[in-house]
Structure 1
Amino acid sequence: MTSVFDWLDTRADERRRAGLARQLRPRRHDADHLDLAGNDYLGLSKDKRVTGAAAAAALRWGAGSTGSRLVTGTLELHTELEHELAAFCGAQAALVFSSGFTANLGVLTALSGKGSAIVTDAYLHASLIDGCRLSRADVAVMPHGDVAAITHALKTRRSERALVVTDSVFSVDGDLVALRDLHAVCRAHNAALVVDDAHGLGVRGEGGRGAVAEAGLIGEPDVVTTVTLSKSLGAQGGAVLGPRRVIKHLVDNARSFIFDTGLSPSSTAAALTALHILKDEPGLPERVLTVAQTLAMRLKEAGLKVSAPDAAVVSVMAPTAEAAATWAEDCRAAGVWVGCFRPPSVPDGVSRLRLTARANLTDAEIDHATEVITRHAPRGAS
């Protein structure tokens, strides 16, 4: 009998032949490995202060928030986190979502729509791409980092309302966008600037306040920032920072906020405690940058093709998707976990290892990682 899903097997075979098949790998809590694949930039996900706060919140508030934020799902913890996050970064207000993905969906769908325009960088994160698709706006995708192309798109648009959407630090190569230049273009052409600062918070800016704050834009009336709580803050969730009227509009109109269960008490308390640690230990972001730059320098000296990191992400180019997958697996077998980015996750089509720096990596661990990655490099990687 022919199944309606037989086509899935064909697609799966095609992905395997192309070296693009993906696999879920359960991680043990006591796994003995060096992690250069996760996004725990400040090393706080297992900090006892953070995990202790998460456990205490679960005991006090329960395992979940019990409902959407507009029904029973807004806790005092959410409000406290929103106030402190906004104050730390320098924004008027903040709104916590269940993930960075839902935060991006909520912003783009609520601030645009039919009859408006969105102009984006070609290397946007998938959550922003999906937000653009759901927005029903007229979307124009510009070449990566091309401010002139964005300027032209804004000049020639037909819609009165427009958003320019970008990552602050792009997740594949870790390169930093020219935020001040983009904002000047937006201001000149009456467009709002929406920036995903997921990889900037905790790494860039004074004390880790983020790339938008570093550029002096966080308090501007035409700038909206999204962040995740799952990277530098080691927890889970996302947030939007911006003018109060924007935040109020999201509460009334962002479907991924209105119809989603609120962030769990444990994740909220963990993020809040991690934010307190970041405030108290402002040297953590500088250490992350030092680790990333050291990794990149060592691997480049070994003859590999490496991106110049502007934040915590370091990319090492691979000759093919299959070679990248094998390289990552060999490193994993040697006890060093690295990310493996292949199409369609890489907008330029170039497969690579994606390494992430952590503030708590020691010099000995950096040396070990460099040795393992270099030793297992495939032919054509240098």
Structure 2
Amino acid sequence: MVVLDGEIGNYVISGNKKYSYFAGNNYLGLATHPEIKDAAVRAVKKYGTGFSASRQTTGTSWLHLELEKELSLFKQKDDSVIFASGYLGNRILMEVLQDRYASVFIDQDSHPSIIFGIPAGKSDIFRYNHCDTADLESKLKENNRGMPLIITDGVFALTGEIAPLDKIYDLATGYNGILIVDDAHSTGILGETGRGTPEHFGLDGAKGIWQSETMSKALGSYGGFISSDSVLTGQIRESSAIYQASTSLPPAVVAAGTASLKIIRENPGFRTELTEKARFLRNGIISLGFHTCRGITPIIPIFEDGHESAGNLSAFLEQHGIIVPVINYPGLKSNFMLRITVSVLHEYQQIEKLLDILHDWKNRY
């Protein structure tokens, strides 16, 4: 296990050694941005380290209200609600919408927050083959009993694949259903303005689609949020047990979230640079003959034959000063893989060194 001794950038310190860091989710480098760190420090100096209360009671500050306003502007929605963790967002949406749908359809490789977020009592749960809209349509036809809820990741966390959201949305509307998109790894990355997978597919503002999002990836902070019409956000505040019973987000992360939105708005070139660096690395990995996924996101997997082989490659990279973790989620059928993450902070010479070491591995094994 890697134990960090300092902040995460394109390099990290672990065990008194400096490593090239191709892990985590600091896609836009905002977790270490000086302006964001300064905003967090100022918030702690004024408000302390926490509010020790829920939003429903006395845990709301002007920091929370400002962040929710800025998120709504960023997402071009009526309102936003923030909460303790992005992991909880799917559960919150399923909780407040559960009277509207009769059955649930999820991608078999969905994030655990989707799989474990389905409310108790929802027995009609169907998994369709990964990113397979033909299989989804078949299951919708076979199980057409009341309004369906379809849930998918926008960008899949392990592989970086983008869900075929345009086709999924067509199926959702065709069957008078609703669609939830876990956009944790899309927010700040996909779309002309970084608003995520719906914007990427021209579905921004489409009816019957909701996004569950987080500030802990590209936004460089922490906490989940849902931006929507004021009716839905009002339902969340009034009826979600998760929202009502959770301690409010601490000052530092709230202020950091607001600061990150400003930087994203003022620096659209970050996304372009990130895409170009990810493309450069992905093309290099493909040319070396590794099994990976094509695409445009900064998540690049290398599939290996079993845990031992993946672990050996990860250890080989670490011996050469590069951190790339082996990863798999419980309950998924995916092969064991190395998950390489590209950050806008990476220098091309770092990427080239990673490719050189991967080339050495191929020659040896």
Q: Give TM-score, length-normalised by structure 2.
A: 0.91
The 3 A distance-change label for structure 1 pair 135 and 273 is farther
The reply to whether residue 28 of structure 1 matches residue 5 of structure 2 is yes
The number of residues matched between the two structures is 356
Q: Which amino acid aligns with 1:119?
A: F
Aligned pair partner of 1:366 in 343, 351, 357? 351
| SS of residue matched to 1:101 | helix
Post-superposition shift, 1:339? 2.3
Q: Which amino acid aligns with 2:357?
A: V
- 1:149 aligned residue: 135
Post-superposition shift, 1:249? 1.3
Q: Give TM-score, length-normalised by structure 1.
A: 0.87
CA deviation digits over 1:13-52, x for unaligned, max 9? xxxxxxxxxxx53211161221111100001111110111
Aligned pair partner of 1:173 in 159, 162, 165? 159
Instruction: Within 5 Å, give how 1:254-293 maps onto structure 2.
Output: 254-293=240-279
The worse-fitting range, judged by mean Cα deviation, of 45-54 and 113-122 is 113-122
Q: Distance in 1 between matches of 2:182 and 2:157?
A: 10
The 3 A distance-change label for structure 1 pair 150 and 70 is same
Q: How much identity, in percent, do the aligned residues show?
A: 26
CA deviation digits over 1:174-206, x for unaligned, max 9? 111111211111112111110011111111101
| SS of residue matched to 1:252 | helix
Q: Distance in 2 between matches of 1:56 and 1:186?
A: 45
Instruction: Within 5 Å, give how 1:309-320 maps onto structure 2.
Output: 309-320=295-306
- 1:214 aligned residue: 200
Post-superposition shift, 1:162? 2.5
Q: Which amino acid aligns with 2:318?
A: R
Post-superposition shift, 1:79? 1.8
| SS of residue matched to 2:157 | coil
The reply to whether residue 50 of structure 1 matches residue 27 of structure 2 is no
The 3 A distance-change label for structure 1 pair 373 and 256 is farther
> Is the CA contact (8 Å cut-off) linking 2:103 and 2:122 kept in structure 1?
no
Q: Distance in 2 between matches of 1:204 and 1:249?
A: 28
The reply to whether residue 189 of structure 1 matches residue 175 of structure 2 is yes
The reply to whether residue 41 of structure 1 matches residue 27 of structure 2 is yes
- 1:96 aligned residue: 82
> Is the CA contact (8 Å cut-off) linking 1:68 and 1:261 kept in structure 2?
yes
| SS of residue matched to 1:25 | coil
CA deviation digits over 1:32-87, x for unaligned, max 9? 22111110000111111011111111111110132111112222222221221122
Post-superposition shift, 1:343? 6.0
- 2:9 aligned residue: none
Aligned-pair RMSD on alpha carbons? Answer: 2.0
Q: Which amino acid aligns with 2:82?
A: V
> Is the CA contact (8 Å cut-off) linking 2:27 and 2:274 kept in structure 1?
yes
The worse-fitting range, judged by mean Cα deviation, of 130-139 and 314-323 is 130-139
Q: Distance in 1 between matches of 2:205 and 2:36?
A: 29
Q: Which amino acid aligns with 1:206?
A: E
The 3 A distance-change label for structure 1 pair 321 and 84 is same
CA deviation digits over 1:250-285, x for unaligned, max 9? 112222211111111101111111111000000111
Post-superposition shift, 1:170? 0.9
The reply to whether residue 353 of structure 1 matches residue 338 of structure 2 is yes
Post-superposition shift, 1:93? 2.1
The 3 A distance-change label for structure 1 pair 139 and 59 is same
Q: Distance in 2 between matches of 1:260 and 1:95?
A: 13
| SS of residue matched to 2:117 | helix
The worse-fitting range, judged by mean Cα deviation, of 331-340 and 358-367 is 331-340
- 1:16 aligned residue: none
The worse-fitting range, judged by mean Cα deviation, of 152-161 and 62-71 is 152-161
> Is the CA contact (8 Å cut-off) linking 1:292 and 1:309 kept in structure 2?
no
